[in-house]
Structure 1
Amino acid sequence: MLVTGCAGFLGFYITSFLARYATELGIERIVGTDTFLLARPAWLDELAKLPHVEIVAHDIAHDAIGDIPHARDVDLVLHMASIASPVFYRKHPVVTMEANVWGLRRLLDFYGEGGLRGLVFFSSSEIYGDPTPDAIPTPEGYRGLVSCTGPRACYDEAKRFGETMCWVYAQEYGLPVTAVRPFNNYGPGMRLDDRRAPADFAKAVVEGRDIVLLSDGTPTRTFCYVADAVAGYVKALVHGSYDAFNIGVERPEITMRQLADTYVAAGAEVFGYTGVVRFEAPDEAAYLTHNPQRRCPDISHAREMLGYDPRVEVDEGVGRFLRFLRETGARA
């Protein structure tokens, strides 16, 4: 099995899960690749000590796929390589596009001759842009309201084009390619300097600082605990034919202020946290540009086709995340 982008948040959880249950899942070897542009987490070195796990530095957009160890033996691929945090993909827009477009194209070409049992492209809920009220919860068939220019376009449009490539290669060459669209996943593996809200709030709790909201707190999201999300991704990997699936939770849809309050309550229990929620203006002018007001998936398609059944409520998930940080010395 090949996991590109193994050093990221989802890469941590998925690679750890696959490594732990490799025997039960019938996985002989897991090869993880990453450029380590943002970081090389210490946990990767621990995973690499396992006899069935190999971690290598590789740029999926520029280096030959054949240079990856055991590339010819791979029959399952999780293409996760991409910067996903808005703060960082605005700093590295070209790199972000390349991983999602050229990196994906290289994988599709390399494995296009057959032999694959499944390839999952990690798309994004951002392909929907800022949905109209009648499109929430948002089904996979919604075409989206997305700008092709602006500070978020490098990510949003690269994901959209990546999905088009997946569909074309599935139609033309019969590749078993599936696209998944994550909706606000959070939990263990998310670095405290990730700069997305769940990580920012966790960092404030760990450091004993007030939680600072850089919006008015009214945008709403549903938040999917990473263990639930990974179950969906693994099910999508063995789906075996082209499709696209929303992977997230339908409820509760809460405001960012409510999420912050959830961290305050869980932080008090786990860390003895005494901070409060404050509002400040963002330092970065583009911070809220094209930021969706609402984000909530319709997951009925994934329920029906994959048996996807997320169960962790946000209160429980935030508590789990903070306990993980406490138990690991806040080294996420």
Structure 2
Amino acid sequence: MHLYDSELYMQDVCAVASMIEVQELADASVLISGGTGMIGSFLVDALLYADKHYQANTQVYILGRNEEKARARFADYADCPQFHFIKQDINEKVVGNPALPAKIDYVIHAASNTHPVAYASDPIGTITANVFGTQYLLDYAKEADCKRFVFLSSVEIYGENRGDTDKFTEDYLGYIDCNTMRAGYPESKRTGEALCQAYRKQMEMDVVIPRLSRVYGPTMLMSDTKALSQFILKSVKQEDIVLKSEGTQEFSYAYVADCVAGILAVMLDGKDGEAYNICSKDSDVKLRDVAKQLADLADKQVVFDLPDATEQAGYSKATKATLDTTKLRTELGFVPQYDMKTGLSHTVQVLREIM
């Protein structure tokens, strides 16, 4: 069974597509790096759903290293004239690829290592995707006369909450110990943001930066080693939830549909040069409570187990990382649709259907 065969998944895609300001994307073109990832693939589905059902006529280009993987994920779009796959490693220069369109309206940089084992096993690739990959895409965006560049950043750029704030606002500057392997992800996201600001100034480009909380949903990769992703897979398989800490960490989360809707709101209505926090409603939750919700969905228990050295090396040291979304709500009028209970329920139900 494919994702598109899930009525619940398509309801979520429809909900996001119906929020898109179609008139602003009429006859526009959007290029997405990381198009087969959790966020990128939902973006593709939402944009093409809007194209099909609301006559947006948006050309969607996705960049990826693995054409076979992309063709399998987007098999339903094989004959869609608005869907274009371009083979491209973003750690290599993008300008000069003859498959790229000469003109593009929007570039969304969503490609990045985003889970602990990837940070630990490929720390160099984690950094280069966020730094060199961002620069190469900015160079292409400039050459292609891009209307707006969208850099997907992360809650992790805020660093460690040392008790001086309850929630991170967009102007918060937190502590990161840069002399660690794990720092490669948040520091390179910070550098990516700085590059965007440099290109705004020097190349006169238009850039916006959605800063994402911890994202989950049925488009997650089965190889994802984030704690929440592992909890979800255990719940889907109706197994006990394995918690590798006391679970007192409190984070903001975003269901992938809310995340994508927020990204599109920032892309279309955000102010040039600004960053915007994105998370779902009522989704500031302690890790042990997330584990309990998923255990209940599986009618199982939460059990505790210590992580191995490789996993531990990739884990965030944050104990509280919650986002203030006042700016997104007041300036752009964006209201998330999914609370944690609903998002987790949808995720587990859809994955059970397709697995």
TM-score computed with the length of structure 2 as normaliser? 0.85
Displaced runs of 4+ in structure 1, greater than 4 A?
none
- Assess, with a 3 A threshold, how the Cα gap between structure 1 residues 126 and 284 changes in structure 2: closer, same or farther: same
> Deviation of residue 252 (structure 1)?
4.1
In the alignment, which residue of structure 2 is the partner of 1:142? 172
Determine the C-alpha separation between the residues in 2 that align with 1:88 and 1:14.
23
Secondary structure of the residue that 1:69 maps to in structure 2?
A: coil
1:154-193 maps to which residues of 2 (within 5 A)?
A: 154-193=184-223
Determine the C-alpha separation between the residues in 1 that align with 2:281 and 2:171.
16
1:193-212 maps to which residues of 2 (within 5 A)?
A: 193-212=223-242
In the alignment, which residue of structure 1 is the partner of 2:41? 12
- Assess, with a 3 A threshold, how the Cα gap between structure 1 residues 154 and 322 changes in structure 2: closer, same or farther: same
In the alignment, which residue of structure 2 is the partner of 1:322? 348
Residue number among 265, 276, 291 corresponding to 2:301 in the alignment:
276
- Assess, with a 3 A threshold, how the Cα gap between structure 1 residues 233 and 68 changes in structure 2: closer, same or farther: farther
Comparing 81-90 and 312-321, the one that deviates more: 81-90
Determine the C-alpha separation between the residues in 1 that align with 2:106 and 2:98.
14
Secondary structure of the residue that 1:73 maps to in structure 2?
A: coil
Secondary structure of the residue that 1:318 maps to in structure 2?
A: helix
> Deviation of residue 240 (structure 1)?
5.7
Determine the C-alpha separation between the residues in 1 that align with 2:139 and 2:162.
37
Kept after mapping to 1: 8 A contact 2:153/2:193: yes
Determine the C-alpha separation between the residues in 2 that align with 1:57 and 1:114.
18
- Assess, with a 3 A threshold, how the Cα gap between structure 1 residues 275 and 193 changes in structure 2: closer, same or farther: farther
Determine the C-alpha separation between the residues in 2 that align with 1:68 and 1:199.
37
- Assess, with a 3 A threshold, how the Cα gap between structure 1 residues 285 and 91 changes in structure 2: closer, same or farther: closer
> Deviation of residue 157 (structure 1)?
0.7
Specify the code of the residue in structure 2 equivalent to 1:102: F
- Assess, with a 3 A threshold, how the Cα gap between structure 1 residues 57 and 114 changes in structure 2: closer, same or farther: closer
Kept after mapping to 2: 8 A contact 1:219/1:256: yes
Specify the code of the residue in structure 1 equivalent to 2:282: R
- Once the two structures are superposed, residues 233-274 of structure 1 have per-residue CA deviations (whole angstroms, 9 ceiling, x without a partner) of 00111236111111114634221110011112223xxxxxx3
Kept after mapping to 1: 8 A contact 2:103/2:144: no
In the alignment, which residue of structure 2 is the partner of 1:133? 163
In the alignment, which residue of structure 2 is the partner of 1:251? 282
Residue number among 84, 105, 128 corresponding to 1:54 in the alignment:
84
Specify the code of the residue in structure 1 equivalent to 2:84: E
> Deviation of residue 114 (structure 1)?
6.8
Specify the code of the residue in structure 2 equivalent to 1:203: L
> Deviation of residue 47 (structure 1)?
3.4
- Assess, with a 3 A threshold, how the Cα gap between structure 1 residues 118 and 277 changes in structure 2: closer, same or farther: same
Kept after mapping to 2: 8 A contact 1:125/1:182: yes
Unaligned stretches of 5+ residues in structure 1: 268-273
Percent sequence identity over aligned pairs: 29
In the alignment, which residue of structure 2 is the partner of 1:295? 321
Kept after mapping to 2: 8 A contact 1:246/1:302: yes
Residue number among 124, 139, 154 corresponding to 2:154 in the alignment:
124
> Deviation of residue 27 (structure 1)?
4.2
Kept after mapping to 1: 8 A contact 2:38/2:256: no
- Once the two structures are superposed, residues 63-112 of structure 1 have per-residue CA deviations (whole angstroms, 9 ceiling, x without a partner) of 43331634312111100111111221221111111111111111222322
- Assess, with a 3 A threshold, how the Cα gap between structure 1 residues 317 and 286 changes in structure 2: closer, same or farther: closer
Specify the code of the residue in structure 2 equivalent to 1:319: S
Determine the C-alpha separation between the residues in 2 that align with 1:281 and 1:216.
10
Matched, 1:307 2:337: no
Determine the C-alpha separation between the residues in 2 that align with 1:54 and 1:189.
20
- Assess, with a 3 A threshold, how the Cα gap between structure 1 residues 76 and 150 changes in structure 2: closer, same or farther: same
TM-score computed with the length of structure 1 as normaliser? 0.90
Determine the C-alpha separation between the residues in 1 that align with 2:310 and 2:121.
13
Unaligned stretches of 5+ residues in structure 2: 1-29
Kept after mapping to 2: 8 A contact 1:183/1:223: yes
Specify the code of the residue in structure 2 equivalent to 1:256: L
> Deviation of residue 128 (structure 1)?
0.8
